[in-house]
Homo-oligomer: A and B are copies of this chain.
Amino acid sequence: MKASDKVYESLRRDIVEWRLSPGTVLAEVEQSARLGVSRTPVREALARLVADGLAVQQRGRGAIVSEISDTHVEDLFVLRRALECESARLAARSTHGADFALLAQRFETAAQQLRAEAATEGYYQLVSELDEMIDGAANNTYLSSALRTLRVHLQRVRRLAKDNPERLLESAGEHAAIARAIASGKPEVAAAATTVHLHQSLEHIMTHAVATERTP
């Protein structure tokens, strides 16, 4: 693995997991010293972060971690709805129905399991499996690419709201509904189920958002 990739991954994780707060200055020399590589790979990594929108370039002062406000979260979900609904429609028109039927069942059993114990880790794994399967079934590189960059931002936003067992249970049901709609080949139902899920998701985040502590 290239050093620039390692630096990029490291910084990306630090940003989406809120170890680097918005407004933090990412100076090239400072980061290269911290991570033990020269400025060149650091510079490359910072350029990628700026391209992703996780940082914004300032003239003369390097890159700073980008801000996230309530408005940003709402804007993000508008884009997310447009992209994921379209993906769901395309997936519903694909020939991978059987796979999604299986996934729907797994979500239902996961829901039952979530009633008993908090299996958070495995559940998130299942969600990303569904995401990837929809991506694959939609079979559109440009859409997948747009979703990939979007999901980086979503990871960061997700940390704003604390995990909540009840919400996870609801979420499992919503995901099962999406998978079932795709499995039965109903594009508009799949899109509607996605809209419902995203609406609930956004609602949860906006009401359960923790104050973003800022380092003064």
Instruction: Give the contacting residue for A48; candidates B51, B79, B149; CB below 8 A.
Output: B51
A75 within 8 A of B: yes
Contacts of A44 in B (CB 8 A): 43-44, 47
Interface residues of A in 130-165 (CB under 8 A from B): 140-143, 145-146, 149-150, 153
Question: Which stretch (A82-90, A172-180, A201-209) binds chain B?
Answer: A82-90
Interface residues of A in 164-208 (CB under 8 A from B): none
Instruction: Give the contacting residue for A141; candidates B72, B90, B142, B150; CB below 8 A.
Output: B72
A22 within 8 A of B: no
CA distance A48 to B51 in the complex (A): 8
A78 within 8 A of B: yes
Chain B minimum-CB-distance residue to A76: B142
Contacts of A79 in B (CB 8 A): 83, 86, 140, 142-143, 146
B48 in contact with A142 (CB, 8 Å): no
Chain B minimum-CB-distance residue to A138: B78
Contacts of A47 in B (CB 8 A): 44, 47-48
CA distance A72 to B141 in the complex (A): 8
Contacts of A78 in B (CB 8 A): 86, 90, 140, 142-143
Instruction: Give the contacting residue for A86; candidates B48, B51, B82, B90; CB below 8 A.
Output: B82
CA distance A24 to B82 in the complex (A): 34
Centre residue among A47, A79, A85, A150 by max chain B CB count within 10 A? A79
Min distance, Cβ A130 to any Cβ of chain B, angstroms: 19
A143 in contact with B53 (CB, 8 Å): no
Contacts of A51 in B (CB 8 A): 48, 51
Write 5 A-B pairs (CB below 8 A) sorted by A numbering. Answer: A78-B90, A78-B143, A79-B142, A79-B143, A81-B86
